[in-house]
Amino acid sequence: MPKRKLDPLPSAAFHILLALAGEDLHGYAIMRQVEQQTGGRMRLGPGTLYGSLKTLLEAKLIQELEDRPDVDGTEERRRYYHLTSAGLKIVRSEAEGLADTLRVARAKRVLRGAHV
Amino acid sequence: MSEKIYVWLLKLYPSRFRRDYGSSAIQLFRDRLKAERGIFQLCQFWFDVISDLAISVPREHLRRSAAEPSMPGSFRISEEAVSAMTKREAVIPAFVVGSAVVLGLTIAWLGDSNHVLLFVAYVPLVILAMGQFRSIGKVEKHWHSYQLTLGANGLHLMQDGRECSLLRSEILKVHEDQHGLSAIGIRGYSQSEVLSVEYRQARDRLVSIPMPAGLTSYEQIREQILQWTGRISQRRSLWLKELKPLACAVSLAPAMLLVRSVPWLAIVAVIYCGTVLLAIALHVARPPRDSGLAQQGLNVPPPAYMWRRLKRLFRYPPMLVLFFLPIARVVLPR
């Protein structure tokens, strides 16, 4: 059932998976990473972020880390999330789909400037 | 202050979401609030928060949760069914009482009566309406915690941390209406032994296990119970679980009329109080039928259930308001 929820993968879920592809992050760091990787176009609110994380956890695309990194001694209450191999597979296939779309857009000269 | 407002807004989310992510969401809100500087950024931040709520609150309420790990043969209620039960048991009564209070206060304000005293008379109803709204979360939580186990020999219910069981031989009656099944029985007594049970014993050991229609594998459970009992009695229930909030809201109509109808004040008051008393008498004197004990031929002594009902009725605040508000209106100075 959760698989059905993520087909197609919502934009917020894709960006969260992409953010977690580099390293394990907590909620606020995921939000900042998503903002950075979308050039500030996507600012995830707490409801959207944790709703998406819940869906991704139910689909086993991410997992919550039991052993939480304690970066500066003040972060023991934060919940860190880790991308699973299934999650990596999904985000890779989604990114490849986007790359194909980009190739078509380039071929049709839809894009201008730096994208070309 | 901003954090307090956000904590309050978090109550809009379903209890399950708040339990799982409430503290993380507050932490995220706090982090973002710290990072935002200046009026413009703060305004943008609040705009983001409100848009986020507008999108995520309905989505979380409509979310179908993944099957929770449970024992084989145990069943839970779907999210849609929890919403439906909450609507029937808490949202609609809250809306009915809330609307009646708002309407009553408006008419009282527009009327030519003593505003202060009439508003004082309405205070219990305002408290009741607030209580009704507060109960929505509790009812939702109550149904979220529901877990029914269907064994080879009977039913086992876990809800709100409490447990109760009913063996197949102990089931006296099974009702079915549009909202689901309800199995009733007396713990420790089989169907053949029920005639020998004293009323007090029966009352203390009476168990009623509801099985809402939104239960996963409802049909399987129904089939199994039908095999056990051989019969499921059908009936049609009202759209509201209990009529007290509705009665309470309707009772405000004559009270509102009394604000203006000066010449007919006494007549209307007498008719109204007489009707209320008659309704109370009929309610109290009605033999118990819900328990299924009467149909089983169990001797139920009238004074016992009548006193119990009367005490329960007058412990219910709306009932007191229902009866005393119009009387208070009659004696209030203009």
Q: What is the DSSP string of B209-263?
A: EEEETTBTTHHHHHHHHHHHHS--EE----SSS-SHHHHHHHHHHHHHHTTT--T
Residues of A within 8 A of B31 (CB-CB) are 28
Closest approach of A54 to chain B, Cα-based (Å): 9
Return the pLDDT at A116: 47
Q: Please name each of the domains of chain A with its CATH number.
A: 2-115 (1.10.10.10)
Least confident of A9-18, A61-70, B87-96: A61-70
CB pair distance less than 8 Å for B52 and A78: no
**Can you give the residue ranges of every domain in chain B?**
2-62
Q: Cβ(A84)–Cβ(A63) under 8 Å?
A: yes
Q: In degrees rounded to 5, what are phi and psi of residue A43?
A: -115, 105
Q: What is the pLDDT of residue B27?
A: 86
**Shortest CB distance from A79 goes to which of B17, B24, B67?**
B24
Q: Which residues of chain B does A46 touch, with a Cβ-Cβ cutoff of 8 Å? A: 21, 24-26, 28-29, 49, 52
More confident residue, B34 or A114: B34
Decide if pLDDT at A8 tops 50: yes
pLDDT by position in tens, chain B (length 334) = 778 888 888 888 887 788 888 888 888 888 888 887 778 888 888 888 888 888 888 778 766 554 444 455 678 887 777 877 888 888 887 887 777 777 767 766 666 555 555 666 666 667 777 777 778 888 888 888 888 888 888 888 888 877 888 888 888 888 888 788 888 888 777 777 766 666 666 767 788 888 888 777 788 888 888 888 888 888 776 666 666 666 666 655 555 555 555 555 566 666 666 776 777 777 777 765 544 555 554 555 566 667 777 777 776 666 666 666 656 665 665 5
- Chain A contacts of B65, Cβ < 8 Å? 58
Q: Which two tokens stand for residue A103?
A: 């190739």
- Interface check for A77 against chain B (CB to CB < 8 A): the answer is yes
Residue A93 to chain B, least CA–CA distance (Å): 24
Q: What is the pLDDT of residue B54?
A: 84
Residue with more model confidence, B254 or A64 = A64
> Using CB atoms, which residue from B28, B56, B64 is nearest to A51?
B56
Which of B31, B32, B60 is nearest residue A51 as measured by Cβ atoms?
B60
Interstrand relation of B171-177 and B233-234 (parallel, antiparallel or unpaired): parallel
Report the pLDDT value the prediction gives residue B327, as an integer from 0 to 100: 63
Q: Tell me the shortest Cα–Cα distance from B39 to chain A, in angstroms.
A: 18
Is the minimum CB–CB distance between A40 and chain B shorter than 8 Å? no
Cβ contacts of residue B198 below 8 Å, gap of 6+?
Answer: none
Q: Does B12 touch chain A (CB under 8 A)?
A: no
Determine the residue of chain B that is closest to A43 in CA distance: B48
Q: Are strands B74-75 and B147-150 parallel, antiparallel or unpaired?
A: antiparallel
Q: Is B308 on the interface with A (CB under 8 A)?
A: no
Q: A104 vs chain B: nearest CA distance in angstroms?
A: 32
Candidates B20, B23, B51; nearest CB to A54 = B20
- The alpha carbon of residue B142 and the mean position of all alpha carbons in its chain are separated, in whole angstroms, by 10
Q: How far apart are CA B54 and CA A45, in angstroms?
A: 11
Nearest residue, CB atoms, A47 vs list B23, B31, B57? B57
Residue A71 has pLDDT above 70, yes or no: no
Residue with tokens 């508000």: B325
Q: Does B95 touch chain A (CB under 8 A)?
A: no
pLDDT at B68: 47
Angstrom distance (rounded) from CA B281 to CA B283? 5
Would you state the pLDDT for residue B172? 83
Kindly report the pTM of this predicted structure: 0.47
> What integer is the mean pLDDT of A10-32?
88
Q: What is the mean pLDDT of residues A3-24?
A: 78
pLDDT of residue A1: 32
Distance of alpha carbon B86 from alpha carbon B276, whole angstroms: 29
Closest residue to B49, CB basis, from A1, A28, A45: A45
Alpha helix positions (H), chain B: 2-9, 15-35, 38-62, 79-86, 92-110, 115-144, 199-205, 218-229, 244-257, 265-285, 302-314, 317-331
